[in-house]
Structure 1
């Protein structure tokens, strides 16, 4: 159980099922706080190319279905579900417009034979972007505007007492309306290698990583806003990143990583959802 092993199975949702068409995009993008209006046809092409990179390591993609209740935010499948050694945990979304996603994911997972352990309910909220498994017994979780104390309490009960849950309270940054998850400032590259943006990282959490023997690749200030820190490991030290972050790419390569760069002007840039956000890894080798 980790975030860096070779991908064997993961979930994604294509723009055809999330955005559906340009008219839906045009109706939703402003209310969902996207920076710019995505181009639907370009999104479909970019997503297909991204999927081909993922398949290159032998991964099976489970494509999640469309539903009339979904917004185009459902393209970012990471946030609606988490995984643990016992199965999938359905999240309870902190963003009101996305509250219906976890149940739809749960139905799709059960249909695909993927075990669902349970879900976060009631006043508890958790989004998948706030969870990072370092190994089978260690998970870091961000306390953010999208993941609250009650959600963390329920998560701990689901994973069991033998799992160490390291809670890191993140800063206010841009406020409640912004998408700011733990994975906004850290992406695992290997068992002992993390890509980080230290200026927004809580000191105790950074010290905890270093005490565990982690080596840190630092994202430069100039590439944080362009999702330089949003990098998906598809195998140990083999990663996918968004185009436009050449210095971060260079630093990862210097640390021994093979880096795939994808065009993501429609699937990532408008909604600030990079390669990690677009995927829900289920099984890694």
Structure 2
């Protein structure tokens, strides 16, 4: 079995997370940060830690062999470090460090670099200077097609740098304009409306998708499961594929779950009242997948050294 980086749906072999106890740290930190960071409510520390333990248990229940690397506490990091997806991008040459569009999160890529180096995961490049890209705006559609959302968190200069880094990996970059929706302070990413579930299956919220991108998915033979309007704000569209058609989602979106299961997916849910709903970050946000099993051998592949 070939393993590599350029997939959102292959069996997950290695990923990075940040436990709530190391992101939220203390009641004093929560009191100082939750309003400036635009959380919908103040997280309860003890409840968040317990929820996160169960979240990890749910991941491991789907695949007991998945390797989980935990980010530690670090200087300059806010509560938002709970959502490590946004600080890096995986490609077949290694990890690309992002340059966060949200100023309060600028320290996160360096923290992830340190963890990657500790675990022997190569760091291939970085978005720098005036360029901004967040990992929630980036998703592999297939092993040779990377989609990037152009919105308030990811700008044109960041996309230019990302394209230059991705092309040597034998991949094309598809730019997807994002809607204004709730404005610059909102955490709207491409993956707010798209979660790949299998090589030919994706969960989407079509009312906020641009037509050319939706048509591209259909042209690639990808079946679309539609999130109902009443479950979009509760992050019904934020679903993590742990393996093809095997996924983890936030509890409280029963119709989306029913539609996924009707499409052939195995679905497990977790309670994310403190760790997901209040910070608007579901299971894709709370995980930075690194290695996955691929369908085909990648054109360029750099495997990590043993930890």
TM-score range, shorter chain: over 0.9
Residue correspondences, number: 285
Partner of 2:272: 264
1:230 paired residue among 214, 219, 238: 238
Is the partner of 1:4 in helix, strand or coil?
A: coil
Query: Alpha-carbon deviation of 1:65?
Result: 1.4
Aligned to 1:34: 39
Deviations 1:180-235 (A, max 9, x none): 00000000010000000000000110011111111000000000000000000111
Length-normalised TM-score, structure 1: 0.98
- Describe the SS at the equivalent of 2:274: coil
Unaligned runs of 5+ in 1: none
**Aligned equivalents of 2:72, 2:167: Cα separation in 1:** 31
8 A contact 1:85–1:136 mirrored in 2: no
How do 1:165-176 and structure 2 match up within 5 A?
Answer: 165-176=173-184
Q: Is the 8 A contact 1:142 1:181 kept in 2?
A: yes
The aligned counterpart of 1:99 is: 106
1:217-256 equivalences under 5 Å are 217-256=225-264
* TM-fit CA distance, 1:135: 2.2
Does the CA-based 8 Å contact 2:202-2:222 persist in structure 1? yes
Contact persistence 2:166–2:173 (CA under 8 A): no
What pairs with 1:1-285 in structure 2 (closer than 5 Å)? 1-56=6-61, 57=63, 58-160=65-167, 162-285=170-293
For residues 207 and 240 of structure 1, what CA distance do their matches in structure 2 show?
Answer: 26
SS of match in other structure, 1:232? strand
Greater CA drift, 79-88 or 133-142: 133-142
Aligned-partner SS, 1:113 = coil
1:188 counterpart SS class: strand
Query: Which secondary structure state, in structure 2, belongs to the residue aligned with residue 240 of structure 1?
Result: strand
Deviation at 1:111, TM superposition (A): 1.3
For residues 247 and 171 of structure 2, the distance between their equivalents in structure 1, rounded to whole angstroms, comes to 27
Q: Which runs of 4+ in 1 moved over 3 A?
A: none
**Aligned partners of 1:78 and 1:278 also within 8 Å:** yes
Asked if 1 retains the 8 angstrom alpha-carbon contact of 2:146 and 2:171, the reply is yes
| Higher RCO structure, 1 or 2 (CA under 8 Å, sep 6+) | 2
Contact persistence 2:132–2:155 (CA under 8 A): yes
Q: Name whichever of 72-81 and 42-51 sits farther off.
A: 42-51
Distance 1:270 1:221 in 2: 20
When normalised by structure 2's length, the TM-score is 0.91
Structure 2 residue runs without a partner (length 5+)? 1-5, 294-307
User: 1 CA distance for matches of 2:260 and 2:110?
Assistant: 37
| Kept in 1: contact 2:166–2:172 (CA 8 A) | no
